[in-house]
Structure 1
Amino acid sequence: MLRPALLALILTGATLPAFAQPPSETVPLLREIKEWVVGCDNLRNCHALSAPSGVNEEDDSSLTLHLWHQAGPQGYLRLRFDHRGEPVDLSTLLLDGQPLGLALTRDLHVELDDQAGDPEVQSYGVIEDASARRWLQRLRNGQRLQLPGDEQAHVSLSGLSASLLLMDAVQGRVDNVTALARPGKGAANEVPPRLPAPVLRKFVSPPPLNAQEQAGLVAVALKAATPEEGGSEAKAGALTAQQAMTVARYDCAAYNCEYDVNSRQRQAPYTETPLNVQPLPLDGAALQGSVWYDEASGTLSYFYKQRGIGDCGGAGSWVFDGERFQLSEFHIMPRCTGVASGDWPALWSTTPAP
């Protein structure tokens, strides 16, 4: 049986919308689509990047294509290639065995700053909106980008079109002139505005721990941690005039450790107090891998590596506001493809305290 709304459209001769789903999805969002990974943060800013899904060494690539589309009617569009290894000439790129041509490659500009501090990564950006759209229009119908003579320097385009459509849906652009996958006649000003960024409440620096407080807190934290493999280590830092943080590390594997993270009274017997930490989105597992607290800024951070070189995993940080740790940023990369942590998709963005 036809639903009433659908029957009314048919009877009136109206056309069904080109995209049947809602104009946006719940954010933050992380999705793997064939040979691509898409992440959209809490503001609806989206980042898609090529990421081979294979687990064999021959599936690895020294070339990664990033796409960023900021939310909102005037949100910027940017495209960037990262190449790991010796400098290359991207003007020779082949799309399905055919040269891309000067009309596209002349828009590539070498970026001088090292990506994520890695001097072995060379980046080539397309920073103008119209130029980036010309690139995507060409690439959407292709299968593979390849540097001639270099089997390791390739980008699979399988999943690119679906990734662009997902980004459009998240940002409410489907059938809009600003859409990447399915542009239409909708005016740019009809695109929903970017969601407001949470404003972090300020951390008020307390008196630092004195030597006696440091020694007592570390001793209690070490006693509470139960090492199973390897030795344990603990550090302490001030939270407020009455409270302190203790971070005890134990049971380390090859490149990740377990941690016992607590807030405690600064005076003996250093009793535990409630630790209020804003949960990570998407059921992210926090406070593992490497964990540290910076008492100068009131920042609690973690970095988790899925493998030793640290090109996949999760990372996040929180800022203490006197009562709770507010989530400041969160990045995640589910596939190990050589992408440095500074270029992992951001799933949570905030505005610093004024």
Structure 2
Amino acid sequence: MRHLGGACLAAMALAACGPADETAAASAPSQTASAENAAAASGARSESRKFRDWLAVCDNTNDCVAFGPASEGTGWVRVGSAPGPNGARTVSVGFWPTSGEGLTGPMTLTLDGRNHVAAPVAGDHEPVGVAQVRAADAAAVASGLAAGETLTLAAGGETVTMSLSGASAAMLWIDERQGRLNTPAALVRKGTGAPSPVPGPESAPHVIAAPPIAQTGFGDSGQTLPPALEAVAAVKACRAETADTAVSNEVMSARLDASTELWAVPCFAGAYNVGHDWYLTGPGGRDPRAVSLASAGGETGAGTINGGYDAGTRTLSAFSKGRGIGDCGTASTWTWTGRSFVLSAESEMTECWGVPADFWPTTWRTR
């Protein structure tokens, strides 16, 4: 599931998206062709690959991660690899104990019979315990995972067996993507070449938010849709879809500038996901047109799942849950620049392995 906005997948959202508004879309300005949204095509391309049990993801700056799951139960190991000749490596681990109680202490990784202690990571991760191998050991542990045969995680009196099937291939792909093959900086295929030829990170697009503007008369919920927006065919369909649900009143609005308003129309509600379609209008809701929201993969749409607009930061955000505990799915942020909403951050976890959102792979980043 690459995109929250308008590209709802039934398996992830457990609900259908509202129909597209062909009339509104046809009258919308070509935002995807703007210089700002064209930035999505610059730099490296965000990409993900699955290698047997392991998942590898690199974002648009070539910052990469590799994930492996527990063979049984819920657990994961995450290898982070920053780009550049001196890019840092990290190894983080986590698992969900069968007792249901959160783990707050250190964990022990036993890799081919050798123990490595991982210190707990602060944060609201319960019931999943999260820990990290110390920085000085991370590169060696990461290479050991690629070459290893057995791995277990232990904490709080419980032990889970992890899968290393695909670990070597996932990290080899990252080495190749980052230009590290046959250099001392490689995780898998090390060589004697000097680390200096390893390319640095790709430049992240620069996104500048428009200045904040007063929001008197606009708000997060309970707003009344303007007549011109109510008359749009796709909006009528959304209103009919949600008429008898608790989300029917979750209309959101904001003032973007003196001549532009932002409106969110509730379009569906699932067990843990609520969908809205977003529109730009003139004052009083006149001349509605669908918002264009790009994803790291290049898709565009006008919808979000569990979305909202923050007038202080000028950002529209969304968090689509793959399941109720929110350990998989997609999180996206778009920034209003004064002309359009530009993708400024995206992370995605396609596997429901108990990974907290702050450890998901980044698929798009900006500065």
TM-score with structure 1 length normalisation? 0.77
Compared with structure 1, are the counterparts of its residues 280 and 147 closer, same or farther at alpha carbon in structure 2 (3 Å cutoff)?
A: closer
> 1:160: Cα distance to partner?
0.6
TM-score with structure 2 length normalisation? 0.75
Match of 1:247 among 245, 253, 264: 264
Compared with structure 1, are the counterparts of its residues 222 and 295 closer, same or farther at alpha carbon in structure 2 (3 Å cutoff)?
A: farther
> 1:274: Cα distance to partner?
5.8
Compared with structure 1, are the counterparts of its residues 245 and 89 closer, same or farther at alpha carbon in structure 2 (3 Å cutoff)?
A: closer
Indicate the residue corresponding to 2:92 in structure 1: 80
Indicate the residue corresponding to 2:312 in structure 1: 296
SS of 1:167's partner is helix
CA distance in 2, matches of 1:146, 1:284: 41
Asked whether 1:308 is paired with 2:324, we answer yes
CA distance in 2, matches of 1:215, 1:136: 52
Task: Tell me, yes or no, if the aligned pair for 1:218 and 1:246 is still in contact at 8 Å.
Answer: no
Compared with structure 1, are the counterparts of its residues 304 and 89 closer, same or farther at alpha carbon in structure 2 (3 Å cutoff)?
A: closer
Identity of aligned residues (%): 27
CA distance in 2, matches of 1:246, 1:31: 37
Match of 2:133 among 119, 126, 129: 126
SS of 1:177's partner is coil
CA distance in 2, matches of 1:316, 1:300: 8
Compared with structure 1, are the counterparts of its residues 280 and 28 closer, same or farther at alpha carbon in structure 2 (3 Å cutoff)?
A: closer
SS of 1:227's partner is helix
Higher relative contact order (CA 8 A, sep 6+): 2
Match of 2:52 among 30, 34, 38: 34
Asked whether 1:43 is paired with 2:61, we answer yes
CA distance in 2, matches of 1:285, 1:151: 45
Compared with structure 1, are the counterparts of its residues 249 and 145 closer, same or farther at alpha carbon in structure 2 (3 Å cutoff)?
A: same
> 1:159: Cα distance to partner?
0.7
Asked whether 1:160 is paired with 2:190, we answer no
Task: Tell me, yes or no, if the aligned pair for 1:221 and 1:248 is still in contact at 8 Å.
Answer: no
Asked whether 1:238 is paired with 2:255, we answer yes
2:138 is matched by which residue type in structure 1? Answer: A
Task: Tell me, yes or no, if the aligned pair for 2:315 and 2:335 is still in contact at 8 Å.
Answer: yes
User: How many residues were matched structurally?
Assistant: 308
Structure 2: which 5+ residue stretches go unaligned? Answer: 1-42
Task: Tell me, yes or no, if the aligned pair for 1:30 and 1:38 is still in contact at 8 Å.
Answer: yes
Task: Tell me, yes or no, if the aligned pair for 2:292 and 2:300 is still in contact at 8 Å.
Answer: no
Compared with structure 1, are the counterparts of its residues 89 and 349 closer, same or farther at alpha carbon in structure 2 (3 Å cutoff)?
A: closer
Task: Tell me, yes or no, if the aligned pair for 2:229 and 2:286 is still in contact at 8 Å.
Answer: no
Q: Which has the larger radius of gyration?
A: 1
1:125-171 per-residue CA deviation (whole Å, 9 max, x = no partner) reads: 22435x22322333333333124797862211111100110111111
Asked whether 1:65 is paired with 2:77, we answer yes
What is the RMSD computed on CA atoms of the aligned residues? 2.9
SS of 1:239's partner is strand
> 1:331: Cα distance to partner?
0.8
Task: Tell me, yes or no, if the aligned pair for 1:255 and 1:308 is still in contact at 8 Å.
Answer: yes
Match of 1:144 among 107, 127, 150: 150
Structure 1: which 5+ residue stretches go unaligned? Answer: 1-24, 53-57
Indicate the residue corresponding to 1:100 in structure 2: 114
Indicate the residue corresponding to 1:258 in structure 2: 275
Compared with structure 1, are the counterparts of its residues 312 and 200 closer, same or farther at alpha carbon in structure 2 (3 Å cutoff)?
A: same
> 1:219: Cα distance to partner?
6.4
Indicate the residue corresponding to 1:338 in structure 2: 354
Compared with structure 1, are the counterparts of its residues 60 and 257 closer, same or farther at alpha carbon in structure 2 (3 Å cutoff)?
A: same
CA distance in 2, matches of 1:152, 1:343: 21
Indicate the residue corresponding to 1:14 in structure 2: none
1:100 is matched by which residue type in structure 2? Answer: R
Compared with structure 1, are the counterparts of its residues 84 and 286 closer, same or farther at alpha carbon in structure 2 (3 Å cutoff)?
A: farther
1:245 is matched by which residue type in structure 2? Answer: L
Compared with structure 1, are the counterparts of its residues 89 and 331 closer, same or farther at alpha carbon in structure 2 (3 Å cutoff)?
A: closer
